[in-house]
């Protein structure tokens, strides 16, 4: 299984190629903007470093959110275009699960929290084996305590420090992990490989849809008032 994986859904950008159960090459950079200029060159670089031609790929994988509206659209549009051009199936994974599988093993549940660029954050709870315990949701950091089970909970993600600060006086037992707070394309590839082993999608299947947990920060312009006729 040879996979090209992409991510630009948050304040980072990455691409990776995967084959034989391991990452052949990966490029990653933290960036608040500019993913549209960097993502495709990253793809070219990892393909070259992995000594793979585009026509040797079996699958394209991408993050589907939640994340920044613009970065997410860039990632999905690029992945769809590449998959369509090469007639390859396309698999989507969430940014929250990509961060979850990157964390060190713990004997406690894991809460992943990703910043939303607003007062709330995107969160999801996972068990000790990084299987989801609930659906992704958008909440204020101060409201996370109501989601947590009793006992210690591991915490990771780009909004983890905000959650930790908000819950300092709550009595919650939070173990802040710092393995990888951003989603990486290498984790996207590993998740896609596992899913393809169970049910490989076929070319032409409906593409993955973006995961939006709230409306984008865009408002329609108000219609201009017509000038009164004399």
Contact predicate 183/12, CB 8 Å: yes
CA-CA distances (angstroms) from residue 31 to 9, 39, 62, 131, 160?
A: 11, 11, 18, 29, 18
Average pLDDT, 10 consecutive residues per value, the chain (230 residues): 96 96 97 94 97 95 95 96 94 97 94 94 96 95 94 97 91 91 97 90 88 66 55
Considering the entire predicted model, what is its pTM? Answer: 0.90
pLDDT of residue 230: 45
- Say how many CA atoms lie within 13 Å of 118 toward its Cβ: 14
**Continuous segment of H or E residues that includes residue 138:** strand 137-139
Q: Three-state SS for 146? A: helix
Q: How far is CA 24 from the centre of its chain?
A: 20
Contact predicate 191/184, CB 8 Å: no
Residues contacting residue 143 through CB under 8 Å, at least 6 positions apart: none
Closest CA to 6 of 74, 100, 103: 74
DSSP-assigned letter for residue 30: E
């Amino acid at each position: 299984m040879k996979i090209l994986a992409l991510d630009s859904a948050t304040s980072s950008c990455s691409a990776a190629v995967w084959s034989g159960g391991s990452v052949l090459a990966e490029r990653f950079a933290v960036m608040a903007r500019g993913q549209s200029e960097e993502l495709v060159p990253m793809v070219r670089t990892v393909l070259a470093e992995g000594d793979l031609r585009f026509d040797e790929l079996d699958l394209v994988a991408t993050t589907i959110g939640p994340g920044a509206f613009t970065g997410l659209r860039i990632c999905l549009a690029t992945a769809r275009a590449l998959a369509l051009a090469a007639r390859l199936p396309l698999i989507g994974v969430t940014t929250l699960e990509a961060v979850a599988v990157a964390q060190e093993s713990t004997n406690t549940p894991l809460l992943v929290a990703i910043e939303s660029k607003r007062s709330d954050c995107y969160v999801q709870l996972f068990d000790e084996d990084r299987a989801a315990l609930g659906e992704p949701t958008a909440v204020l950091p101060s409201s996370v305590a109501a989601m947590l089970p009793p006992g210690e909970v591991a915490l990771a993600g780009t909004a983890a420090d905000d959650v930790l600060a908000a819950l300092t006086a709550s009595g919650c037992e939070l173990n802040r992990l710092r393995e990888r707070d951003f989603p990486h394309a290498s984790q996207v590839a590993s998740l896609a490989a596992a899913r393809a082993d169970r049910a490989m999608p076929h070319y032409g299947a409906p593409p993955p849809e973006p995961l939006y947990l709230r409306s984008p920060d865009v408002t329609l312009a108000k219609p201009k008032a017509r000038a009164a006729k004399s």
